[in-house]
Amino acid sequence: MSEHRKYTSDNRAAWDAAAPLHEAGATWQKLLTEVVKDDFSAFDQTLRQTLDHVGVTGKRAVQICCNNGREVLSLSAMGAKSVLGIDQSEAFLEQGRKLADVSGRKCDFLCADIYELPEEIPSNFELGLITIGVLNWMPDLRRFFDIVAGLLASDGVLVIYETHPFLEMFDPSSDNPFLPSQSYFDRGPHASEQTITYDGSDRGKGPTSWWFSHTMGEIVSSAIESGLQVQRLDEYPHSNREVEFDIYEDRKARIPMCYTLVLCKAS
């Protein structure tokens, strides 16, 4: 097994183990209730405005690393002609299929390692979407963007809404969370044995997962080298990740906490 395959295989096991925790409690029940609405959306205002600007209606869309499909269904509700969600965790995709059944919307889901996509997958998507917590799971960013670019049609648009790399320098659980605890240029890999959660709760030890930091320069350059053209890059001082990072919001000296990057595949 190659080193990269080990990382992605370990991460898949960690996500599969975490999936049952995300299908329990009030958050899941609220999602089941909300997803049936005609105007359902799991997008915040920032991402919604970005998607409105590039246009969703009538487009063939793909979300890379879609988790439980709530954003796949959000694209469908915004008027996408068709939506495919790709993720390597079958446990989370099963949740996506349940949500799709409840909503009545037709979406497709593919379980696959993004580095090992089946040859028959279409390469004519007019809109691609990557959201929070995707790029940092990727051990080889250039190869990742090569594959994503290959999914897009000529003139297809890729929208990325991610945590800002600058935020990776800080650890909100440290004794001094406002003092940088990691170099901006430390690419990892960083191992974690904590069960993956979104709500800041400690669910104890879980399968080992691997996290990789990428600078903004590496992200943008990797995308450009893969044949994607930068249309817009916007940075924001709000958090779009786990709740424990909220302590960095609304301070006098604000830091970049997330960003949107809009890219277009050259025709």
What domains appear along the chain, each with residue ranges and CATH number?
Answer: 3-265 (3.40.50.150)
pLDDT higher than threshold 70 for residue 198: no
- Percentage, residues of the chain above pLDDT 70: 96
Sign of CA dihedral 258, 77, 65, 193: positive
Q: Record the tokens describing residue 159, joined without a space.
A: 């929208």
Q: Record the tokens describing residue 253, joined without a space.
A: 């000296």
- CA–CA distance, 160 with 235 (Å, rounded to integer): 12
pLDDT higher than threshold 90 for residue 23: no
Q: Record the tokens describing residue 60, joined without a space.
A: 């063939």
Question: Which amino acid does the sequence have at 20?
Answer: P
Check: CB of residue 197 under 8 Å from CB of residue 18: yes
Check: CB of residue 48 under 8 Å from CB of residue 74: no
Contacts of 176 (CB under 8 A, 6+ apart): none
What does the pLDDT average to over 59-63?
98
What does the pLDDT average to over 58-82?
97
Q: Between 206 and 169, whose confidence is greater? A: 169
In which element (H, E) is residue 195 found? none
Q: What is the pLDDT of residues 77-104, one digit of tens each?
A: 999 999 999 999 999 999 999 999 999 9
- The pLDDT value recorded for residue 19 is 87
